[in-house]
Structure 1
Amino acid sequence: MNTVLIVDDDSEIRDIIHVYLRNEGYFVLEAENGLEALHVIQTNLVQLVILDVMMPKLDGIHTCLKIRESYDVPIIMLSAKQEDIDKITGLTTGADDYMIKPFNPLELLARVKAQFRRSSMKNKEEIQAVTHLKDLVIDKVKHSVLLRGKELSLTPLEFGILELLASYPGQVFSSEKIYESVWKEPYGYSDNTVMVHIRNLREKIEIVPRAPQYIKTVWGVGYKIDK
């Protein structure tokens, strides 16, 4: 069940939003001001925040900035102000969406659903961006490789070769295909560049480079990584 935090000093507005969200199956938490909201976020797994701008103790703008220091949670800001500068201020402080009061609760509900869809797609992309192969963890977004929990220092070309082979486990890639995919230029047939980079890569990821467990040579064909 997705958890939504409503932050507004107006109890009637909180009640209306709460009813609509609860009827759609969301678990709802409430806070009357920014300070209370920060405490709720620190002590609960909040997955989306509906945040009013004008509040006592700590306003929505500064609350949004504080949240963004530690949490990557979608934030929809609410405000009675209609000036464009207020929209810009709200969005540049880290808000994902912005609505003007008074608002239609059904429209707010639709925007909440849209934010959860975006978060779901982002999570799937992040999961797909990480490849696990035995003791190797390859993060395509961060361009990092961990071997038994220790980060390896790979050159961009070494990472490119490893990423290519790991993305298609079991598939054999010729030196020509590897070169054209990683170097992004036509392959030189007398060139042993790929072989040299494979050798250097094995020195970094294999326990015994001459008996590789990761990058296997298929003689006369090319290289592959098995699952």
Structure 2
Amino acid sequence: MRDKIIIVDDDDDHCKLLVQYLSKHGFEVIGCSYSGQDTIGLFHSHVPDLIILDLLTPRLEGLELCTEIRKVSDIPILFVSTYADDYVKISAFNLGGDDYISKPLNLDVLLARIKAQIRRNKRAFPVNQRHLLQYPGLEVDLSTHTVLSYGKEAILSTKEFQLLVLLAKNPNRVFHTETLYDLIWRDSKLGDVRTVMVHIYNLRQKIEEQPHNPRYIHTVRGAGYKFNGAVSLTAIESHS
């Protein structure tokens, strides 16, 4: 399986050059995005192994996009930019960037940096941890977009799957309803925050053994929702 990369750069010629070069060297470029907002949609629809991120991305600056991605993922983020200012580089690293390369790029150096970052991330997060989210009674396969609940496949919509992945990858973290809406529906902006509540309800119906008494997705009154990372196998078996 080829490693997957998202490129975020508003320079069309530069994007085409990178796609051609990286494809030649065995990578799958799953998206060449011209805006941060488009990238959020791509990110939630795929499981990239690395993101190449230009600092000057329109409508959502690179540093802001890096912050948004770091809320939900530890995948390597490699910044590229014409900026040579040390303050900008420090800001990029402080916000979660893993590497920084100045433009104009030396493509061979870029390739070596990409391989090093992906190799380091794979050592830190083995395959079963990167592509499978496993909790007692629940398994989410990020590569095939399948969910097993109590041994049975749960058929989820795209947004339900994205919502589940976001919560399950951040156990015990409380997400405000507005934050969930912004992260999952940013690319479409359809409906309003009530959309989140409807999807949470539907998700519970599909993955919870007792939707009225959920074990996985908890409501935090006055705040939002969280995934219960402390769910125990004993507790589940006692209700089976």
CA contact (8 A) 1:20 1:109 kept: no
Q: For structure 1, list consecutive stretches of 5 or more residues without a partner in the other structure.
A: 128-143, 152-227
Q: Could you list the runs of 5+ residues in structure 2 that have no partner in the other structure? A: 130-228
**Cα displacement (A) at 1:149:** 5.3
Q: Could you give the per-residue CA deviations for residues 138-194 of structure 1, whole angstroms, max 9, x where no partner exists?
A: xxxxxx99863559xxxxxxxxxxxxxxxxxxxxxxxxxxxxxxxxxxxxxxxxxxx
Q: Counterpart in 2 of 1:46? A: 48
After the TM superposition, which residues 8-87 of structure 1 pair with which residues of structure 2 at under 5 Å, given as runs? 8-28=9-29, 29-87=31-89
Q: Distance in 1 between matches of 2:26 and 2:34?
A: 22
Displacement of 1:126 after TM fit? 8.8
Which of the pair has more CA radius of gyration?
A: 1
Query: Counterparts of 2:24 and 2:68 in 1: how far apart (Å)?
Result: 30
Q: Deviations over 1:22-65 (max 9, x none)?
A: 01111102100111111110111111100000121111000000
From 209, 218, 233, the equivalent of 1:148 is: 233
Instruction: Kindly provide the amino acid, as one letter, of the partner of residue 58 in structure 1.
Output: L
- In the superposition, relative to structure 1, how do residues 124 and 41 fare at CA in structure 2: closer, same or farther (>3 Å)? closer
Deviation at residue 124 of structure 1 after TM alignment: 3.8
Q: 1:22 to 1:149 in 2, by over 3 A?
A: farther
Moved beyond 4 Å, runs of 4+:
144-147
- Percent sequence identity is 32
CA 1:126–1:57: 2 relative to 1, 3 Å: same
> For residues 49 and 149 of structure 1, do their structure 2 counterparts lie closer, same or farther at Cα, with a shift above 3 Å needed?
farther
| Closer/same/farther in 2, CA of residues 149 and 56 from structure 1, 3 Å limit | farther
Aligned residue for 1:91? 93
Q: How many angstroms does 1:115 deviate by?
A: 0.8
Q: Helix, strand or coil for the counterpart of 2:101?
A: strand
TM score, norm. by length of structure 2: 0.53
Give RMSD over aligned pairs: 2.8
Contact 1:78-1:99 at 8 Å conserved across structures: yes
Aligned to 2:119: 117
SS of residue matched to 1:88: helix
The whole-number CA distance in structure 2 between the counterparts of 1:149 and 1:50 is 43
Q: CA 1:145–1:37 in 2, change beyond 3 Å: closer, same or farther?
A: closer
- Give the length in aligned residue pairs: 139
User: Structure 1 36/147 Cα, relative in aligned 2: closer, same or farther at 3 Å?
Assistant: closer
How far apart, CA to CA, are the structure 2 residues paired with 1:71 and 1:110? 22
The aligned counterpart of 2:8 is 7
Q: Which has the higher contact order (CA 8 A, sep 6+)?
A: 2
Could you say what secondary structure the match of 1:5 adopts?
A: strand
CA separation in 2, counterparts of 1:149 and 1:12?
Answer: 56
SS class of match (1:70): coil
Q: 2: distance between equivalents of 1:20 and 1:27?
A: 11
